[in-house]
Structure 1
Amino acid sequence: MEGPLGVTDLLAVVRTVLDGHGPASVRPELTVHGPGRYTVRVDGARLDVRSSPLSDQPPGTLDPVVAGPGTHRIVLTASGAPSERAHDLFTALAAAVDRRAQCYTEAEAAAIVAGMPLLDRYARPEPALSRWALVFRDHYVENSVGFLLAMERAGLAPEWIFALSKGDRTQHRERVHSWFLHRGYASDVLDNSVINGTAGAAETAHARAVDAQVADFVRRAHAAGRKVLVIDDGGLLAQGYGADGPGPRVDAAVELTVSGLKRIAAAPGELAIPVLNMARSRLKSRLGYNEIADSCVRRLRAIVPGQKFIGRHVLLLGYGTLGARAARSLRALGCRVAVVDTDVLALITAAEDGFETHRTIAEALARQRPFLILGSSGDTAVTAEDVPLLPDGVLLAGFATKDFSVLTDGYPGATALRIPHVGVRYDLPHATSVTVLGDGRSLNLFEYEGIANRGYDAYRAGTLLAALALCRDIGRFPPGVHLEPVDRIIDEAGLFDAYYSQYLCARTAPLGTGAFSRADAIDRETAHAR
């Protein structure tokens, strides 16, 4: 196993595991030969633990961390006649070391916090959080780590945080999961495919178990006199946690995505809780989507480094907020971008922005043979009728999950070949092949961290402000989805001004220092002291 696990912490992990295997009189024997060299003997078997530093390793976080133990390789070997007890001990020791080796170090966590200075600025103590619990469901990326640490600094107890991954194959998801467990949170996966109704048997069975854990968490929180806040993309509310019904109900929610708004609208039962709409807030529309589009284009180019982009035809499906920004980025790169959208106003906007436009995929493909088709519609963009028209060898890059679901959910007569770290090639019955890049989900989250921490800093800070306002005075918000209060909360907090001062003003200090005016610094120090 490899990870930033120093010899002192490694020895602590070994001793913790041994302490859990029987009373002291029969506890396995531990011999410390030196730093990073340990032997455990049990029932005639021998378990050796050896750690050695690795040099010239890439950083395990977006920002490099100078302090800390560095990366170590840890080797566990067993010898002798293995008893059942020795086997169980070795298995437990391997699992504990692996989990701890995956975990962020305190220095790495501090670097993540330092990389989100706006979030840190607004993570001020909020007494109301002592009466709340949180179910947080989002991507397992560094900015989620920063956000939950900010909620802790604002006063939320770690044991009352339940974190859920949406199931995307983000680059450091195992590190995030290990860190959350290390902090004392509950942590698991509630896959988006379950919410969308496309999950297989294994994912569905796991989701049932997780749902039972979430329901128990909500019940325990209520029994302890706490209300429960959900920060999500509508997944839990789609399962009935926001409506009156026989199961447990949460007390409030912050909605992060437009797809989540659609899920809430389609959920059974009448919405019985207040939901603050971050998805359509000015903050996300004006700032967030620029960063999302940037991460999508960066990941696209990285995943196919052998492809030529400049001068080539690209077809974009969906000219919404995200699609428009992606289209402009690709045009600036030198691509010839055409747009398909079913909304005539979107087509008008795209045409007046200087793009070639088409009402249908068939119409567009009759005019050009793109080497790349991008999906950003958030719905089924390519239909079964469109598949035979796709150019042979075309790359399909989805920036939203459903765009190419006609293939990823199973196309009749197609055979699939997984290409590790790239995607899936589909050989179609029409004697053509196409490649869906990534795993059919949002491409910028496929084996990637997605958005830079500083790029998502403002949106996470705005989400924090909305969550704190909701917890502080929930009585102000009747049941239903609320947008205007979100914009007002962000304006009153001065977040846009702080964003400009931090990142864009000519007098801005170097990024990562968190520097504001002296008055701001004094105000923040006072808040932390309180």
Structure 2
Amino acid sequence: MREVADDAGWSAHETAADDAGSGSCRLLGPAGTFVEAAWGPHPPTAPDTLEWGTPPARRYRFLLRGPAPAPLTELATRLGRHTAALTAGEADAIWAAMPLTRQFAEPDDTFPGWALIFRDHYVENSVGFLLGMERAGLDPRWIYALAKGDRTRNRDRVHAWFLRRGYASDVLDNSVINGTAGPELQRHALGVLADVERFVHRAHEAGRRVLVVDDGGLLAQGYGSPGRARVDAAIELTVSGLKRIEAVGALDIPVVNLARSGLKTCLGYNEIADSCLRRLRAILPGEKFTGRRVLCLGYGTLGARMARGLRAVGCRVAVVDTDPLMLIEAAEHGFETYRSLPAALAACRPFLVIGNTGEAALAEADLPLLPDGVYLAGFATKDFSVLTDGPLAERATPVPGVGRRYALPHDRTVTLLGDGRSLNLFEYEGIPNRGYDAYRAGTLIAARALCRRPEDFPIGAHTTAVDRIIGESGLFEAYYDRYLADA
């Protein structure tokens, strides 16, 4: 038996473990309190990540026992933090599942002089992207990862893995960027933004420049303009982020736009739409879809794919859009079309309304027009914000794992699926790693070009340069050969 001390004032008197990996110990606390711990192998379970390996990772279960609750709680918390992170085998499997990111992450002298602030969803392909940036030459101690606040399935495990890897990691919730956050999230965001400023200052003092890969959230907070801890360059990932950047006004840095690139439009949105449809069917496993009415709000890049996908499973889909060109395109593809939501609801009775606009698509005046019991599925945060950010939110009834049910005037109810944000990220992993591999590889390629010669990118948002950069990189040829070619 040996004694091991740590910085929290605990000491452990360990017993030997048997061949099965079981064991026990007595932990003595600083005030004389103690906890008895025992552990043993956990029966095999299904993989907790998209990628799986053989043999599966060994898992253990712990039994903690003691006379005082405080040390039990403390030790359970510490064990939880230690065991939450992705295992080495799981991280290796994610990395192996992103061959294009690996291919274009060959190290060179571009990134050693840079620091990175990466703000995106905490999903497995984000792990693969940051591993790619490391392999390309970025020091992990100069990576600051920020979650956007979505309830992705393994966000806590990804966060714990980032910390173990040596990154800084926190949450800067999208509701803060949109101005709809409550007091608690606002207070947290102030602390995070102060820490981001310190990170930028430390990087500059160390002679490093700072790249942001984001959806416009940090630029909307002023980090791309004079007067704050200005970063040096940015890559924009989303259309909503572009709108935020446009609202800010003058930028003082170059911004490479991936949101409207051919890469995202032609490859990324097919995978995004697929994940949206899969999540929609999974969250309503008891519902009939075939033959039923669905109303699709917005016929843009994602909305058009959603409308076609729903029609492919037998739904009768109607489209609402305020852009006459989009209405023409939808009508000429065989969809019923309407200029407004009230006009559509006067003509048909959907069981499901899909939001793809990224704007406030449902107004308070529209609520009495909704059919009783209708489902609302948002794939952009603002579409149904009249429910999530208004007074009705206080009277909503949570439906765990599904969403929230709202009581409306005139004895009607509606069910908002998920949490009002992108439904494909609600308690779900979202896009398959191989499905987003090309987009993550393209982001790395764009980052390398921007950081290698930032002087080639004048101040402001660049909407065409990225198509040339990625087109010349060989990514599309590699994508075709990897995933589509027969030989």
Using structure 2 for the length normalisation, give the TM-score.
0.96
Deviations 1:419-442 (A, max 9, x none): 001000000122100000000000
Give the aligned residue type for 2:286. G
Q: Distance in 1 between matches of 2:305 and 2:223?
A: 34
Q: Does the 8 A contact of 1:255 with 1:277 survive in 2?
A: yes
* CA RMSD across the alignment: 1.6
Q: How does 1:128-139 map to 2 (within 5 A)?
A: 128-139=110-121
User: How far 1:90 moved relative to its partner?
Assistant: 5.1
Correspondence for 1:32: 15
User: How far 1:94 moved relative to its partner?
Assistant: 2.6
Correspondence for 2:194: 212
Correspondence for 2:330: 350
Among candidates 260, 263, 269, match of residue 283 of structure 1? 263
Deviations 1:143-168 (A, max 9, x none): 00000011011111111000000000
Q: Distance in 2 between matches of 1:293 and 1:54?
A: 37
Correspondence for 2:357: 377
User: How far 1:366 moved relative to its partner?
Assistant: 1.4
Q: Does the 8 A contact of 1:382 with 1:403 survive in 2?
A: yes
Give the aligned residue type for 1:52. G
Give the aligned residue type for 1:479. I
Deviations 1:241-263 (A, max 9, x none): 00011x21000000000000000
Unaligned runs of 5+ in 1: 1-13, 508-530
Q: How does 1:95-114 map to 2 (within 5 A)?
A: 95-114=77-96
Q: Distance in 2 between matches of 1:19 and 1:109?
A: 28
User: How far 1:417 moved relative to its partner?
Assistant: 0.3
Q: Which moved more, 1:121-130 or 1:180-189?
A: 121-130
User: How far 1:413 moved relative to its partner?
Assistant: 9.7
Identical aligned residues as a percent: 61
* DSSP 3-state at the match of 2:199: helix
Q: Does the 8 A contact of 1:274 with 1:479 survive in 2?
A: yes
* DSSP 3-state at the match of 1:133: strand
Give the aligned residue type for 1:186. A
Correspondence for 1:259: 240
User: How far 1:505 moved relative to its partner?
Assistant: 0.7
Q: How does 1:16-415 map to 2 (within 5 A)?
A: 18-22=5-9, 28-34=11-17, 35=21, 36-42=23-29, 43-67=31-55, 69-79=57-67, 87=70, 91-245=73-227, 247-267=228-248, 270-411=250-391, 415=395
User: How far 1:414 moved relative to its partner?
Assistant: 7.6
User: How far 1:29 moved relative to its partner?
Assistant: 4.2
Q: Does the 8 A contact of 1:242 with 1:250 survive in 2?
A: yes
Give the aligned residue type for 1:455. G
Q: Does the 8 A contact of 1:67 with 1:107 survive in 2?
A: no
Q: Distance in 1 between matches of 2:27 and 2:49?
A: 33
Q: Does the 8 A contact of 2:387 with 2:393 survive in 1?
A: no
Q: Does the 8 A contact of 1:129 with 1:156 survive in 2?
A: yes
Change (3 A) 1:413 1:479: closer
Q: Distance in 2 between matches of 1:93 and 1:178?
A: 17
Q: Distance in 2 between matches of 1:411 and 1:429?
A: 13
Correspondence for 1:10: none
Q: Distance in 2 between matches of 1:388 and 1:141?
A: 38
Q: Distance in 1 between matches of 2:15 and 2:258?
A: 53
Change (3 A) 1:33 1:414: closer
Q: Which moved more, 1:48-57 or 1:476-485?
A: 48-57
User: How far 1:186 moved relative to its partner?
Assistant: 0.4
Q: Does the 8 A contact of 1:126 with 1:468 survive in 2?
A: no
Q: Distance in 2 between matches of 1:136 and 1:180?
A: 12
Q: Distance in 1 between matches of 2:393 and 2:115?
A: 49
Give the aligned residue type for 2:53. V
Q: Distance in 2 between matches of 1:149 and 1:255?
A: 20
Q: Does the 8 A contact of 1:254 with 1:277 survive in 2?
A: yes
User: How far 1:91 moved relative to its partner?
Assistant: 4.9
Correspondence for 1:527: none
* DSSP 3-state at the match of 1:385: helix
Q: Does the 8 A contact of 1:133 with 1:221 survive in 2?
A: yes
Correspondence for 1:523: none
* DSSP 3-state at the match of 2:421: coil
User: How far 1:385 moved relative to its partner?
Assistant: 1.4
User: How far 1:488 moved relative to its partner?
Assistant: 1.0
Change (3 A) 1:413 1:456: closer
Q: Does the 8 A contact of 1:51 with 1:72 survive in 2?
A: yes
Give the aligned residue type for 1:272. D
Change (3 A) 1:30 1:253: same
Q: Distance in 2 between matches of 1:71 and 1:29?
A: 21
Q: Distance in 2 between matches of 1:72 and 1:381?
A: 48
